Chains A and B, each alone.
Chain A
Amino acid sequence: MSTISVKDAREFAALLTSGADAAEAAGQSEFDLTAAAEAQYKTARADLQAAIDQLDKPTG
């Protein structure tokens, strides 16, 4: 049996909800799940990189 943690399930449910809300607001009846997940990853990755760049200044 495959399992998914409660935390992952809630995060995935949040992705489904936000994707559905965005699609509905745009007047669409469906959306691309993979594209939504990819966008989420890219946004989070860019935010982490910004935090790293901000704190990773050379001292001297």
Chain B
Amino acid sequence: MSICRSAGLVLAILLAMSVGVALVSAPGCVKQPQHTDIVALAASANTTFYATGTLATLGSFEWDVAPLTTHAAHALKDTAAALRRGDITVDQAKAKAAALDHAHDLLSRALVTCAQDDHTGKCTGDEAAARKLLDDARNALASIP
């Protein structure tokens, strides 16, 4: 391969990496985890996600569930902080905790229903039912004020 062709290849790789980073840094609208997005996200977070074993499961069902679990966890943290500040009542905090627990339960059931294979990243159970539970959980979380 000539030097020019090698340089062209390097430029193409750099351009592809730039596109991946742009996908996750676009304000307000980021695509749901795709392979390129997650790799770029991991790179921006300065992590070591390039390990081969981890890349095998990128884009799998668990990668769809985990951000929603994280969202619910942060909603719990926000609720606790608001309660301690006196911005909400104990009853309001209890209601929000119950709603988040419901969404979390749906996520847990989705994981069990999918029964993801650790090596292939594919559902070995009922993927359609698992996706339905995932959608229900997403809607439940979105409906919590």
Partners in one complex: yes
- What is A's interface to B at a CB cutoff of 8 Å? 1-9, 11-17, 20, 24, 29-30, 33-34, 36-38, 40-41, 43-45, 47-49, 51-52, 55-56
Any A CB within 8 A of the CB of B101: yes
| Overall SS of chain A's interface | helix
Tell me, rounded to whole Å, the shortest Cβ–Cβ distance linking B28 to chain A: 6
Q: Are B51 and A34 in contact (CB under 8 A)?
A: no
Tell me, rounded to whole Å, the shortest Cβ–Cβ distance linking B131 to chain A: 12
Q: Are B93 and A9 in contact (CB under 8 A)?
A: no
The 3 A-B pairs with the shortest beta carbon distances in the complex, nearest first, are A2-B32, A44-B76, A20-B47
Cross-chain contact of A9 among B24, B46, B97 (Cβ < 8 A): B24
- Given the interface pairs A17-B47, A47-B76, the reply to whether A52 lies near B53 with Cβ below 8 Å is no
Cross-chain contact of B97 among A12, A38, A49 (Cβ < 8 A): A49
- What is B's interface to A at a CB cutoff of 8 Å? 24, 27-33, 41-42, 44-49, 51, 53-54, 57, 62-63, 65-67, 69-74, 76-77, 79-80, 83-84, 90, 93-94, 97, 100-101, 104, 111
Q: Are A33 and B71 in contact (CB under 8 A)?
A: no
Contacts of B79 in A (CB 8 A): 48
Tell me, rounded to whole Å, the shortest Cβ–Cβ distance linking B9 to chain A: 28
Contacts of B69 in A (CB 8 A): 34, 37-38, 40-41
Contacts of B67 in A (CB 8 A): 4, 8-9, 11-12
Cross-chain contact of A48 among B41, B47, B97 (Cβ < 8 A): B97
Q: Are B63 and A33 in contact (CB under 8 A)?
A: yes
Contacts of A45 in B (CB 8 A): 73, 76, 97, 100-101
28 A-B residue contacts at CB 8 Å? A2-B31, A3-B32, A8-B67, A11-B74, A12-B41, A13-B41, A14-B45, A15-B66, A16-B41, A16-B45, A16-B47, A29-B53, A30-B53, A30-B54, A33-B63, A33-B66, A34-B62, A36-B66, A37-B65, A40-B70, A41-B104, A43-B73, A44-B76, A45-B100, A47-B77, A47-B80, A51-B80, A55-B90
